[in-house]
Amino acid sequence: MSGEDRLLILAPRGRDAAVICGQLKETGPNATVATAAEVVEAIIAGSLGAAVITDEAMAGFDLVALAAALAAQPPWSDIPFLILTRREFGGWTRARLMVLFGNLTILERPLYGDVLIGSVRSALRARARQRRAEAYLLAREAAEAQVRELAATLETRVTERTQALSDALAERAETQNRLRDSEALYRYTVELTEQTPWTADADGQMIGIGPGWASPEGTKSDWRRLVHAGDLATMSAAWTLAVEQRTPFQCDFRLAGSGGDFTWCRARAAPRLAADHSVLGWYGTLEDIEDQRAAEARLRQMQAELIHVSRLSAMGTMASTLAHELNQPLTAITNYVRGSRAMLAGYPEHGAVRDALDQADSNALRAGEIIRRVRDVASNSDARRRSEDLSALVREACSLAMVDASLSGIEFELDLAAAQVRVMVDRIQIQQVLLNLLRNAVEAVAAVPVRRIMVSSFVTPTGFAEIVVRDTGPGVDADAAPRLFESFNTTKADGMGIGLSISRTIIEAHGGVIWHRARSSGGAAFGFSLARADMGS
């Protein structure tokens, strides 16, 4: 019998309850006398092990409450009831009692003690079996709940693991796609670029080179033998230093090609480092810079030519100034000499003086002729003028002037006329003018945060070709603007004041006009016009 199960006796008639309790107490289980309401409460509380009820006690039950309590028992519970009766009473029949109580034992009275005790013990054993069934069901439910929990946990883990595996597979696929894209990009880059990739081991020994390089012998390890003798020492020293210090390498040198001819090349490399900063190897490129070197040589030559022309122009301007200043004194000298000679016409005795005056007159005329020749030379004759493509001329001059502009943070814009425009000019002199204007613009924007230079060319409504250089510098002071193109007038602390003067001389000699305008948005604009080649003189 469970510690919670109670044996209740419901016998309200006379001494029946006490007698029954006494019989059970002597040789059987303990019993407690209870009321009908207490029996119902014990059923509801689940503490009733069995109940012994006399027939006359049935009248004390609230049958609705009793039926509801019995119907509410858990599935495993079927409380045993023992009814003590000697006849059918109050209209109750065995069938009605069985329907009401379910697990019912009817004992007819008079009742022997051993029969009562045996029936009660049998009822309590049945209740004990129900309790064991309850425990089994509870344990089973707990086990099933645990199994369900484990199954849910397992399912969750399987789902999570499946998702993780799916994510890992997706990530792997994405990594493989990125790797393929990277390999394709590298392959296309190698195929499209003019640079040849190469690799070396941690000690600097070449282990591979791309297909863009072909040596006469087809060897790799002894490739240094192909370096020009005049460059080998410099290149080897730079490479050795880079390998020792694990720093990026760059060097220009001449390298023998498949035909044996030497070509200027530029080698670059950088070390690939491991997690511990040790060198795993070297990755580099080899670039053919023969055309670049030739272009740089041509640029240097053109710069030298422009400098030479600039000096000649300065000398020409000075010669023109001197010719202009000396022409009047020489004319006066000639007039005075001729006047003196006329005054001596009636004095034959002064023949020596007349001879001296004749020599003076002849030399004065000779000096004037020399000055005229100097002025003709300084006036830019048409001997070197050719029909030139204006756009090509401007591009070439800009490439000279703006070669280092990007290093100074200068933004350069070039807007040339869409249609081809040809001008009859001395190319070097016109480029000198444009170069002078561009250098002034570079100096003007050097001290401002927004550094922009714009060069444009176009045909004016009057048919002239015009080139304009605009900058975002501080502009020209209004007081200095009227004298910008005068000789020896300068707005620079270290200027000589001949650049714009020479430019004006050259442009005006070509039949054009040079000008300056302040920009409303800030900065300055310098421009000049030239007659087109098809306009005639």
CA 108/CA 331 separation, integer angstroms: 176
Per-residue pLDDT tens for 341-375?
777 777 776 677 777 777 777 666 756 655 664 56
Q: Residue 1: what pLDDT?
A: 45
Q: Residue 482: what pLDDT?
A: 76
CATH class label, 293-379: mainly alpha
Q: Burial, 119: exposed, middle or buried (Cβ in 10 Å; 0-12, 13-18, 19+)?
A: buried
DSSP 227: B
Q: Write down the pTM of the prediction.
A: 0.37
- Strand spans (E) along 96-235: 104-108, 195-200, 206-209
CA 31/CA 82 separation, integer angstroms: 13
The secondary element (H helix, E strand) that includes residue 260 is: none
Closest by Cα among 377, 380, 383 to 323:
377
DSSP 423: E
Give the phi and the psi of residue 447 in degrees, each rounded to 5: -105, 15
How many beta carbons lie within 10 A of that of residue 118, not counting itself? 12
- Helix%, strand%, coil% for the chain, nearest 5: 55, 20, 25
Query: In angstroms, what CA-CA distances link 158 with 143, 148, 306, 430, 465?
Result: 21, 15, 81, 82, 81
The verdict on whether omega for the bond into residue 110 sits within 30 degrees of 0, i.e. cis, is yes
DSSP 447: T
Per-residue pLDDT tens for 137-188?
889 989 999 999 998 998 898 999 999 999 999 999 999 999 888 877 777 7
- Strand spans (E) along 406-451: 411-415, 422-425
The CATH code that applies to domain 386-535 is 3.30.565.10
Q: Which residues of the chain register pLDDT less than 70?
A: 1-4, 13-16, 25-29, 87-92, 190-192, 211-223, 304-320, 322-325, 328, 349-350, 362-364, 366-383, 418, 487-498, 536-537
Q: Which amino acid is at 46?
A: G
Residues 249 and 239 sit within 8 Å (Cβ to Cβ): yes
Query: In angstroms, what CA-CA distances link 514 with 208, 307, 343, 502, 509?
Result: 59, 21, 51, 11, 11
- 3-state secondary structure string, 88-129? CCCCCCHHHHHHHHCCEEEEECCCCHHHHHHHHHHHHHHHHH
Say whether domain 195-288 belongs to CATH 3.30.450.20.
yes
Closest by Cα among 392, 383, 371 to 509:
383
Residues 6 or more apart from 13 whose CB is under 8 A from it?
A: 54, 56, 57
Please give the structure tokens belonging to residue 511. 């039949």
- Hey, is 480 helix, strand or coil? coil
Question: H helices then E strands: how many in the chain?
Answer: 11, 17
> Domain boundaries in the chain?
1-192, 195-288, 293-379, 386-535
Say whether domain 1-192 belongs to CATH 3.40.50.2300.
yes
Query: In angstroms, what CA-CA distances link 241 with 108, 248, 325, 414?
Result: 121, 10, 65, 43
Whether 293-379 and 386-535 share one fold: the answer is no
